Amino acid sequence: MKDNIRFPFRFFIIAFIWSWILWIPLVLASQGIITVSPKILSSITMPVSIVAAFGPLIGALIALHREHGKGSTVKYLRSFFDLRLGWKAYLFPFLILGGCTAIAWLVPEIYGKERLPMLLPSIWLFIPYLLMMIFLGGGQEEFGWRGYALPLLEKQFGLWLANIVLGIIWACWHLPLWFISGTSQTYMNFGGFILLTVGYCFLFSWIRYISGNRPFSGLFVHGVANAFIPFMPTLNMQKDVPQQRFWIWVTLTFFVGVLITIFRKKNSLNLK
């Protein structure tokens, strides 16, 4: 291990426990193991999932408190109020993530596939939807993944292995969602989802780097990534249909993340 940095087992265990305890009852209801009316299940899935996504934050707070005392948690939370990411860290997520999503959304039309319609009621809702994604629609996970775990993993394993490990763990953390009715994951291939999360890890790590390692960058870039999903859908929400857009999206995101990391490793994208 480098500099006696320990693998953050405590953080991951607590994050999984918090989230899975909330998700497992939804799994049991969706699979008919416990009886819940479809209407009630549909109404509670989203709010329960939002609370469940705070598992990484809970894991980080408990791990920090155990390792460094109460003051460390306050300092950690305050660090997320530093919004001085720099224009590059604010702009590049839109260009890269928006570009990958747009390509996956539009390319199948070249060979005759019908465009999937935008899921947002209006294009003008993109900004408020983005803000929701940053703080409640996935971005809240980043208090743990990039805010706490990533710096420790990169110090221990280096840039490449740290982000591969985190990407796989991050994908596995989502696993109960494949068994909950109404979630987008039920239409996804899990292997493809791992490609996506590992690609995201490389991209999100780079955005954190060019922001001056400011933790809020994780919330922002994750929010941007999720905000584009209903804006330019790449997932056909039907069972047993080809998902060409999904595979273009996850593969492109993965390779863009890999290419950025190659150039970053060679110091040819020193954009600080």
Interval 153-181: pLDDT, tens: 999 999 999 999 999 999 999 999 999 99
Q: Name 74's Cβ contacts closer than 8 Å, sequence gap at least 6.
A: none
Structural contact between residues 162 and 7, judged by C-beta atoms closer than 8 angstroms: no
Question: Does 196 map to a domain?
Answer: yes
| 100-to-81, 132, 153, 266 alpha-carbon distances in Å | 29, 21, 27, 23
If one counts every other C-beta atom within 10 angstroms of the C-beta of residue 101, the result is 23
| 81-to-47, 205, 218, 220 alpha-carbon distances in Å | 25, 19, 12, 12
Structural contact between residues 225 and 93, judged by C-beta atoms closer than 8 angstroms: yes
Which of 79, 45, 59 has the alpha carbon at shortest distance from 185? 45
pLDDT score at 265: 83
Distance between CA atoms of residues 147 and 60, nearest Å = 8
Distance between CA atoms of residues 143 and 146, nearest Å = 7
pLDDT greater than 80 at residue 272: no
Domain of 136?
A: 2-265
* Mean pLDDT rounded to a whole number for the chain: 94
Question: Does 270 map to a domain?
Answer: no
Question: Does 260 map to a domain?
Answer: yes
pLDDT greater than 50 at residue 18: yes
Q: How many residues does the chain have?
A: 272
% of the chain at pLDDT higher than 90 = 90
Lowest-pLDDT range of 63-72, 80-89, 139-148, 260-269 = 260-269
Distance between CA atoms of residues 11 and 149, nearest Å = 8
Handedness of CA 231, 227, 204, 172 (dihedral sign): negative
In this prediction, residues 121-146 reach a mean pLDDT of 96
In this prediction, residues 71-77 reach a mean pLDDT of 95
Question: Does 104 map to a domain?
Answer: yes
pLDDT score at 267: 67
Q: Name 210's Cβ contacts closer than 8 Å, sequence gap at least 6.
A: 86, 88, 89, 92, 271, 272
pLDDT greater than 60 at residue 3: no
pLDDT greater than 60 at residue 251: yes
pLDDT score at 94: 98
| Count of structural domains within the chain | 1
In this prediction, residues 76-97 reach a mean pLDDT of 98
pLDDT score at 121: 92
Lowest-pLDDT range of 14-23, 50-59, 65-74, 165-174 = 65-74
pLDDT greater than 60 at residue 269: no
Question: Does 271 map to a domain?
Answer: no
DSSP one-letter code for 113? P
pLDDT score at 131: 98
For the chain, the first-to-last Cα distance in angstroms comes to 28
pLDDT greater than 60 at residue 146: yes
Q: Name 102's Cβ contacts closer than 8 Å, sequence gap at least 6.
A: 232
Rounded to two decimals, the pTM is 0.94
Lowest-pLDDT range of 52-56, 114-118, 146-150, 250-254 = 114-118
pLDDT greater than 80 at residue 110: yes
Distance between CA atoms of residues 119 and 232, nearest Å = 8
Distance between CA atoms of residues 193 and 199, nearest Å = 10
pLDDT score at 255: 98
**199-216 burial: b if 16+ Cβ within 10 Å, else e:** bbbbbbbbbbbbbeebbb
In this prediction, residues 16-36 reach a mean pLDDT of 96
Kindly indicate the confidence band of residue 5, based on its pLDDT and cuts at 50, 70 and 90: confident
Q: What is the dihedral of CA 269, 76, 140, 192, to 10 degrees?
A: 50
| 272-to-86, 88, 115 alpha-carbon distances in Å | 9, 9, 38
Question: Does 272 map to a domain?
Answer: no
Question: Does 219 map to a domain?
Answer: yes
pLDDT score at 45: 96
Handedness of CA 119, 125, 126, 131 (dihedral sign): negative
